Amino acid sequence: MTDKTPVSPSKMKRFRDLLTSPGLSFLMEAHNGMSALIVEDAGFEGIWASGLSISTALGVRDRNEASWTQVLEVLEFMSDVTSIPILLDGDTGYGDFNNFRRLVRKLCQRSIAAVCIEDKIFPKTNSFLDGDQTLANIDEFAGKIKAGKDSQTDPDFSIVARLEALIAGRGMDEALRRAEAYHAAGADAVLIHSRKSGAEEILHFAKEWANRCPVVIVPTMYYRTPTDRYREAGISTVIWANHNLRASLSAMREVSLKIRREESLVGIEDHVANLSDVFDLTGNSELAEAEKRYLPDTRRRIGAVVLAASRGSQLADLTVDRPKCMLDVRGEPILRRLVRSLRGSGVDDVTVVCGYRHEAMTLPDVRKVVNDAYASTGELVSLSRAADRLVGECVVSYGDILFRDHVLDLLLNTKGDVVLVCDAAKQGPALKPNADLVRCASPCTADHLVHDQPVELERIGGGLTQDEAHGEWVGLVRLSARGSELVRAELAAMKEAGEMDHATMPDLLSRLLARGVRPQVVYIIGLWLDVNDVFGLARARNFL
Ligand code: SPV
Ligand code: MG
C-alpha cells in the first residue's frame, strides 16, 4: 500500500469547500481501499463511505452489526490510499451524543473529512427496508450534532445532518422543522433522503429550504431524474451511494458461476482486470523504487570475464568460421555451457572478450568486448580490454574450458583476494608440457580435498619444471573486490612498462606474487577439461 502524503489544503477543508461551492459536486461510494482507489482514479472529488456497502462488503447487515471501530478500520485503509476527502456514513452516530463525540474525535485523528448522521434510533434500519424507521427525538438529535461540533479537533471537519422524515412518512413540514433545528445545532449541511422513484419531494424540500445551508441528496431511487435538475435546484452535492458495491457483486457472482460451470478460466480471462492492473492499483512500482532507496543491497554480485579471443590453431578445419569457444559440443557451443555454469552459480554479469571471428559469438545476455589485435597479442591484452569489468568480485575464465558445476561453487566459497583452481590429478612428469604449471606451499593431500582447504600459490608458469609442479591451473581464477583492484593496477603497470603485448595470465599472477600478493589455490582432481585439439573436443563430448 502506498500511503498518500498529506495534501494541502486538508481533506477537511477540501470537503467543506466542496459543500459550499456554488456548483454541483459528486461523491462516489467506496467500501474498502480498492474501491476508494478506483473512485479517486475515476476523478471524483470525494468519497461516500457507505454504511450499506461497508457492511455488505464485510458480509453483515446494514443494521450496525459491524461495530464502529470495525468501520473505522475500513475507513483507515480507504483514507490512507487516497487524497480526496471522505464523508463517512455514520448511521445514527453509533449511540448517544457521547458515543458520537468520541467518533468525531477519532475521525479527525484519521483525517476523515466529514460524517453524516441520520435522525433515527440505534441500531439503524436501512432506509429502503420496510423495517422500523422511527425518528429520533428532535432535541436529542440536535444535542448529538452540537456535541459532535464541539468535539471536532479540526475547524474544517463537517457534520451532515441526514433527514429521515420523508422516509418515515412524517412529511415535508417535519423534514423542514428538523432541518432548521439541526442547522441551528451546527450542522454544516443537511441530507434530505427519499425513497420515491421521482425527485419531486426532494426538489420541493430544496425549494422550501432555500439553501439556508448546503443540501446533499442520494438519488438511488429517483435515478432517472436528469442531473441538471439538481443543478437548477441549487443542490450542493449528489451521492452515488452504492454502485461500486453493486457492480462488484454482479461481476463477482458472474465470474464465480462461470468458472464453476466451465471448470476453466479461458472464458473469463479477457473479461477481468489483468494482473498488471491489479499491481498498478496498489502502486507496486513505488515499492520497487523505495526498495532501491532504503533496502541495503545484500545480494552478492559476481561478474565474470571470459577470455575467448583465440581461434584454436590446432582445430584449424573446425574453426574456419568460428572461434574455438563456439565449437559445438552435443548441440551447443562450449561457451554457452560455460556461461550457463557461471549463471547457475550466481555469476550473472558475464563479459566475453572475443577476437577471431567475433561475429560468430552470438550468445544473448552477455557483454561482448572485442580484442581486434588478438592475432598478434597475448591473453592479457584481451583481459585489459575488459579491465573496466574487473570491479568488485569477479571470476576470470578461459573460454575453452568445461568443468563440473561444483568446481565453481568451490572457487566462489574459498576466501582470498586471488583464488585459483588447480588440478592435482597428475603430478611431476605426467603433466602436459604446455600446461600452466603451479607449485604451491604443499602438494595436494586428501585433507585439502576433503576439507576444501586451500593452499598458497608459490609459483606459476614458464619457469617451473614438471618435477617441481604440484598441478595445473585450469584457467579459472576468482578475484575479490581488492583482487580486482590489484589486477587492474598490475595491468596498468604492465601496459606502462610495455610488457603487456605477449603476456599471459600466468605472467600476471607471477607479477602479483612478486608484489607479495598471496594467491590461494583450491585443488581438484579432474572434474574439468580444456579443448585445444580434436582429442579435447572428443573428451568434451564424453564429459557431458
Ligand atoms: C448508505 O449508503 O449506506 C446509505 C444510503 O445510507 S442509503 O442506503 O441509500 O440509505
Ligand atoms: Mg447508510
> Per-residue pLDDT tens for 488-506?
999 999 999 999 999 999 9
For residues 237 and 305, state if they share a domain. Answer: no
Give yes or no: residues 299 and 227 share one domain. Answer: no
User: Based on the structure, what is the number of domains in the chain?
Assistant: 2
Average pLDDT over residues 28-47: 98
Pocket perturbation via mutation, ligand 1, pick of 75, 117, 127 by most ligand atoms within 8 A of CB = 127
Ligand 1 atom index nearest CA of 52: 3
For atom 2 of ligand 1, the residue with the nearest CA is 50
Same-domain pairing of 302 and 201: no
**Domain termination residue (choose one: 183, 217, 242):** 242
Q: Which atom of ligand 1 is nearest to the CA of 62?
A: 3
Please identify every residue whose CB atom is under 5 Å from ligand 2, which is an ion: 51-52, 89
Q: How far apart are CA 453 and CA 442, in angstroms?
A: 11
Q: What is the 3-state secondary structure (H, E, C) of 89-117?
A: ECCCCCCCHHHHHHHHHHHHHCCCCEEEE
Give the range among 30-34, 320-324, 351-355 with minimum mean pLDDT: 320-324
pLDDT at 519 over 80: yes
Of the bound ligands, which one is closest to the alpha carbon of residue 129?
1
DSSP string, 115-149: EEEESBPSSP--TTSSS--PBPPHHHHHHHHHHHH
Domain boundary among 217, 242, 267: 242
The DSSP annotation for 234-298 comes to T--EEEE-SHHHHHHHHHHHHHHHHHHHHSSSTTTGGGS--HHHHHHHTTHHHHHHHHHHHS---
Describe the crossing of helices 33-41 and 68-80 by its angle, rounded to 10 degrees.
40
Q: Is residue 288 over pLDDT 80?
A: yes
Q: Residue 521 in 3-state DSSP?
A: strand
* φ, ψ (nearest 5 deg) of residue 39: -65, -45
Tell whether 248 is covered by a domain. no
Whether residue 224 is found in the same domain as residue 288: no
DSSP 526: S
CA dist 121 and 176 (Å) reads 19
Residue 2's pLDDT is 63
Cell of 413: 566459497
How many other β-carbons are positioned within 10 Å of the β-carbon of residue 82? Answer: 23
CB 325 within 8 A of CB 399: yes
> Are 168 and 307 found together in one domain?
no
Q: Indicate whether 2 belongs to any domain.
A: no
| 267 part of a folded domain | no
Nearest-CA residue for atom 10 of ligand 1 = 127
Q: Tell me how far the alpha carbon of residue 161 lies from the centroid of ligand 2, in angstroms.
A: 13
Flag the least confident range among 14-18, 295-299, 348-352, 414-418: 295-299
Say which residue the cell 585439502 belongs to. Answer: 448
What is the rounded distance in angstroms from the CA atom of residue 444 to the CA atom of residue 438?
A: 11
Q: Which ligand is nearest to the CA of 90?
A: 2
Are both 340 and 399 inside the same structural domain? yes
Minimum-distance ligand 1 atom for the alpha carbon of 55: 3
Ligand 2 mean position, distance from CA 75 (Å): 14
What values do phi and psi take at 478, rounded to 5? -110, 135
User: Three-class SS of residue 333?
Assistant: strand
Q: Which atom of ligand 1 is nearest to the CA of 116?
A: 6
Instruction: Tell me the mean pLDDT in the region 315-323.
Output: 84
| Best residue for ligand 1 mutational test, from 74, 89, 195, 197 (most atoms within 8 Å of Cβ) | 89
Judge contact between 209 and 179, C-beta under 8 A. yes
Host H or E run for residue 84:
none
Residues near ligand 1 (Cβ within 6 A): 50-53, 89, 126-127, 218, 220, 241-242
For the segment 176-183, the average pLDDT, to the nearest whole number, is 98
For residue 167, which ligand has an atom nearest its CA?
1
Q: Do 423 and 310 fall within a single domain?
A: yes
How many whole angstroms separate alpha carbon 485 and alpha carbon 392? 8
Rama region for 122: left / alpha / beta (φ>0; ψ in -120 to 50; rest): beta
pLDDT over 80 (residue 432): no
Q: What share of the chain is helix, strand, coil (3-state, %, to 5)?
A: 40, 20, 40
Identify the nearest ligand to the CA of 242 by its number.
Answer: 1
Taking residues 237-266, what's their average pLDDT?
98
pLDDT for the residue 300: 85
The verdict on residue 268 lying in a domain is: no
Q: What is the mean pLDDT of the chain?
A: 94
Element (H, E) at 471: strand 471-479
- Domain membership of residue 182 (yes or no) is yes
For 354-412, give the DSSP string.
EBTBGGG---TTSEEEE-TTTTTS-HHHHHHHTGGG--SEEEEEETTEEE-HHHHHHHH
User: Residue 531: pLDDT band by 50, 70, 90 thresholds?
Assistant: confident
Same domain, 134 and 53: yes
The three grid cell numbers given for residue 476, joined into one nine-digit string: 579459472
Ligand 1 pocket test target in 58, 91, 119, 126 with most atoms within 8 Å of CB? 126
Q: How confident is the model at residue 532 (pLDDT cuts 50, 70, 90)?
A: confident
Q: Ligand 1 center to residue 107 CA distance, Å?
A: 19
User: Once rounded to an integer, what is the mean pLDDT over residues 344-351?
Assistant: 93
Expressed in angstroms and rounded, the spacing between residue 122 Cα and the centre of ligand 2 is: 12
Question: For residue 489, what pLDDT is reported?
Answer: 97
How many whole angstroms from 253 Cα to the centroid of ligand 2?
23
Residue-wise pLDDT for 357-394, tens only, equals 999 899 988 999 999 999 899 999 999 999 999 999 99
Pairing outcome for strands 302-308 and 25-30 = unpaired
Sign of CA dihedral 493, 495, 498, 503: positive
Q: Are 338 and 476 in contact (CB under 8 A)?
A: no
- Please list the active-site residues: 62
Read off the CATH number of the domain in which 186 is found.
3.20.20.60
Point out the ligand 1 atom lying closest to the alpha carbon of residue 29: 2
State residue 426's pLDDT score: 78
**Of the candidates 69, 92, 89, 88, the residue with the CA atom closest to the CA atom of residue 79:** 88
For the chain, first and last CA: distance in Å?
49
CA 48 / ligand 2 centre spacing (Å)? 10
On whether residue 173 sits in a domain, the answer given is yes
Q: Tell whether 233 and 325 lie within a shared domain.
A: no
Question: Which residue's CA lies nearest to atom 5 of ligand 1?
Answer: 241
Distance CA 407, CA 396 (A): 14
Q: What CATH number corresponds to the domain at position 420?
A: 3.90.550.10
| 368 within domain boundaries | yes
Q: How far is the CA of 204 from the centre of ligand 2 (A)?
A: 23
Query: Is 259 a member of any domain?
Result: no
Task: Give the whole-number percent of the chain exceeding pLDDT 90.
Answer: 82
pLDDT in tens, 113-165: 999 999 999 999 999 999 899 999 999 999 999 999 999 999 999 999 999 99
Tally Cβ neighbours within 10 Å of residue 175. 27
Q: Does 334 share its domain with 471?
A: yes
Domain with 499 in it: 275-543
Residue 5 pLDDT: 65
DSSP state of 532: S
Q: Which of 35, 48, 50 to mutate to test the pocket of ligand 1 (most atoms within 8 A of CB)?
A: 50
The three cell numbers of residue 516 are 607479495
- Going from the Cα of 152 to the center of ligand 2, the distance in angstroms, rounded, reads 22
Whether residue 67 has pLDDT greater than 60? yes
Claim to verify: residue 303 and residue 164 sit in the same structural domain: no
User: Are 141 and 201 contained in the same domain?
Assistant: yes
Which ligand 1 atom is the nearest neighbour of the CA of 162? 6
pLDDT at 1 over 70: no
Q: Is the pLDDT of residue 431 over 80?
A: no
Strands 393-398 and 367-370: unpaired
